[in-house]
């Protein structure tokens, strides 16, 4: 049965809202700490940059996951890393040779840790090789690419999960639970920001690789947080972008992006992201009986939850809870969840549709700000 683009969008919105509520229900919160698969799932790491290092170190602490192959354009680097993780040299592949992984039974899944514009190609190639895919965010650089990734994984009957770490992280999960339990009353507004002063040689300044500026890198954390904190999808949004014309870093991508969103319940959110200043990632949620703040909210460790609200007994409640967990525990949880989904044939909590929804919203934000996507 064929459906129109508008009907498809409505279905995704409805499904996303339902799945968001389910993911952060008490049952889902309990499942987020579920034990890993008793039989480790073997992962091929595609791309050996900084984020891959965090993920591989996370896997080392995981009883349910292990590194079994590497894909890299630098053989010498790959061999050094292979020695660290006991990966045989026969399981090191170049990008051109990667499709040969199909016959490697030690590889059941891949972790795609490449620049944004390469996510679609290597997700689709991995799916065709019969491997489950855990792909870094943002899912891709366009809505069309995101849909093609979902289609390829569905056709190959493999699972696709987008690496939204915060959906498995205790500080964020507690903030969501407090909000959804009504502790701060009716939510009125959300403020969120995340940015940093980017170095001039970063690949993220190349639009063909990154697909965009800070919105595609750290701004997506703020956007996704407003969705999981409310359990809703934005009904309206507006965005504004600025760049310093004299700064050579921003010839291809935006320097700053600010946006406002309105949700069906009446909640309004104000967010901003930048590559021009250090802006610690945080969110603050205001309700009719108090507020909740996570700051930092999106880092690999050092997260902190604060809150003040009028309790049901009429007494004020104050929270100040630092999260003492250290990197790379968030990556361990993420891998354990995906491995458990593979072993138990479950749908990941952050499937391809979750990444697609963010890409659809980013496309609307860029259009509102007058930015052309790839």
pLDDT tens digits, one per residue of 72-82: 999 999 999 99
**What DSSP state is assigned to residue 104?**
-
| Region of residue 161 (left: phi > 0; alpha: psi -120 to 50; beta: else) | beta
Cross-strand bridge partners of residue 320: 306
Same domain, 278 and 178: yes
Residue indicated by tokens 């809150």: 307
Same domain, 190 and 279: yes
Q: What percent of the chain has pLDDT over 70?
A: 90
Q: Identify the band that residue 3 occupies on the pLDDT scale cut at 50, 70 and 90.
A: very low
Q: What is the pLDDT of residues 30-87, one digit of tens each?
A: 344 344 446 899 999 999 999 999 999 999 999 999 999 999 999 999 999 999 999 9
Same domain, 311 and 343: no
- Residue 9 CA to residue 38 CA, distance in Å, equals 38
Same domain, 146 and 172: no
pLDDT at residue number 8: 36
**Strand 92-93 relative to strand 65-71: parallel, antiparallel, unpaired?**
parallel
pTM of the model: 0.90
In this structure, is residue 150 part of a structural domain? yes
Average pLDDT over residues 111-136: 98
Residues 6+ apart with CB under 8 A from 320: 304, 305, 306
Same domain, 175 and 320: yes
- Residue 19 CA to residue 8 CA, distance in Å, equals 16
Same domain, 216 and 284: yes
pLDDT at residue number 10: 42
Q: What's the token pair of residue 329?
A: 């525990």
In this structure, is residue 6 part of a structural domain? no
Q: Please report which residue ranges of the chain form alpha helices under DSSP H.
A: 5-23, 26-31, 50-60, 75-84, 119-128, 143-156, 170-180, 207-210, 219-230, 329-344, 352-369
- Residue 99 CA to residue 150 CA, distance in Å, equals 19
In this structure, is residue 365 part of a structural domain? no
- Do the beta carbons of residue 44 and residue 110 sit within 8 Å? yes
Q: What's the token pair of residue 80?
A: 């050094």
Same domain, 148 and 180: no
Round the CA-based radius of gyration of the chain to a whole number and report it.
20
Q: What is the pLDDT of residues 263-291, one digit of tens each?
A: 999 999 999 999 999 999 999 999 999 99
Q: What is the pLDDT of residues 141-200, one digit of tens each?
A: 999 999 999 999 999 999 999 999 999 999 999 999 999 999 999 999 999 999 999 999
| Region of residue 257 (left: phi > 0; alpha: psi -120 to 50; beta: else) | beta
**Could you tell me the CATH number of the domain that includes residue 148?**
3.40.50.720
309 counts as catalytic: no
Same domain, 219 and 72: no
In this structure, is residue 280 part of a structural domain? yes
221 counts as catalytic: yes
Cross-strand bridge partners of residue 57: none
Same domain, 142 and 176: no
| Residue 274 belongs to domain spanning | 168-324
In this structure, is residue 295 part of a structural domain? yes
Q: Is the pLDDT of residue 18 over 60?
A: no
- The 3-state DSSP class for residue 364 equals helix
In this structure, is residue 272 part of a structural domain? yes
Same domain, 187 and 314: yes
- The 3-state DSSP class for residue 216 equals helix
Average pLDDT over residues 348-353: 98
pLDDT at residue number 16: 43
In this structure, is residue 17 part of a structural domain? no
The DSSP line for 182-209 is TTT-SEEEEEEEEEEE--TT-GGG-HHH
List the catalytic residue out of 66, 137, 174, 349: 137
pLDDT at residue number 4: 41
Same domain, 311 and 341: no
Same domain, 181 and 261: yes
List the catalytic residue out of 111, 164, 221, 228: 221
In this structure, is residue 372 part of a structural domain? no
Structural domain tally of the chain? 2
Residues 6+ apart with CB under 8 A from 343: 37, 38, 39, 41, 64
**Could you tell me the CATH number of the domain that includes residue 230?**
3.30.360.10
Strand ranges, E, within 32-102: 41-46, 65-71, 92-93
Q: What is the pLDDT of residues 214-243, one digit of tens each?
A: 999 999 999 999 999 999 999 999 999 999
């Amino acid at each position: 049965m064929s459906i129109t683009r508008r009907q498809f969008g409505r279905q995704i919105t409805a499904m996303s809202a339902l799945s968001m509520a389910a993911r952060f229900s008490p049952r889902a919160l309990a499942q987020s700490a579920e034990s890993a698969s008793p039989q480790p799932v073997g992962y091929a790491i595609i791309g050996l940059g900084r984020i891959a290092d965090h993920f591989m170190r996370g896997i080392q602490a995981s009883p349910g996951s292990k590194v079994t192959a590497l894909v890299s354009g630098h053989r010498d680097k790959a061999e050094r890393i292979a020695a660290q993780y006991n990966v045989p040299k026969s399981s090191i592949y170049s990008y051109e040779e990667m499709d040969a992984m199909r016959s490697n039974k030690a590889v059941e899944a891949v972790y795609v840790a490449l620049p944004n514009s390469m996510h679609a190609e290597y997700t689709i190639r991995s799916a065709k090789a019969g491997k489950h895919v855990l792909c870094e965010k943002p899912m891709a650089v366009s809505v069309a690419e995101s849909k093609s990734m979902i289609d390829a994984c569905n056709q190959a009957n493999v699972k696709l999960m987008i690496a939204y770490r915060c959906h498995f992280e205790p500080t964020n999960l507690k903030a969501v639970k407090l909000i959804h339990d009504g502790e701060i009353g009716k939510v009125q507004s959300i403020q969120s920001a995340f940015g940093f002063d980017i170095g001039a040689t970063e690949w993220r300044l190349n639009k063909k690789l990154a697909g965009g500026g800070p919105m595609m890198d750290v701004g997506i954390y703020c956007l996704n947080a407003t969705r999981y904190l409310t359990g809703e999808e934005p009904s309206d949004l507006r965005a504004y972008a600025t760049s310093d014309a004299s700064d050579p870093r921003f010839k291809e991508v935006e320097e700053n992006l600010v946006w406002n969103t309105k949700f069906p319940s009446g909640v309004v959110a104000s967010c901003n992201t930048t590559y021009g200043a250090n802006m610690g990632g945080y969110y603050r949620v205001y309700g009719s009986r108090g507020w909740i703040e996570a700051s930092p909210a999106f880092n690999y460790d050092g997260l902190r939850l604060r809150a003040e609200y009028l309790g049901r007994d009429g007494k004020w409640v104050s929270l100040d809870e630092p999260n003492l967990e250290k990197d790379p525990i968030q990556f361990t949880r993420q891998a354990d969840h995906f491995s458990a989904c593979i072993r138990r044939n479950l749908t990941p909590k952050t499937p391809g549709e979750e990444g697609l929804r963010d890409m659809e919203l980013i496309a609307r934000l860029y259009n509102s700000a007058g930015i052309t996507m790839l």
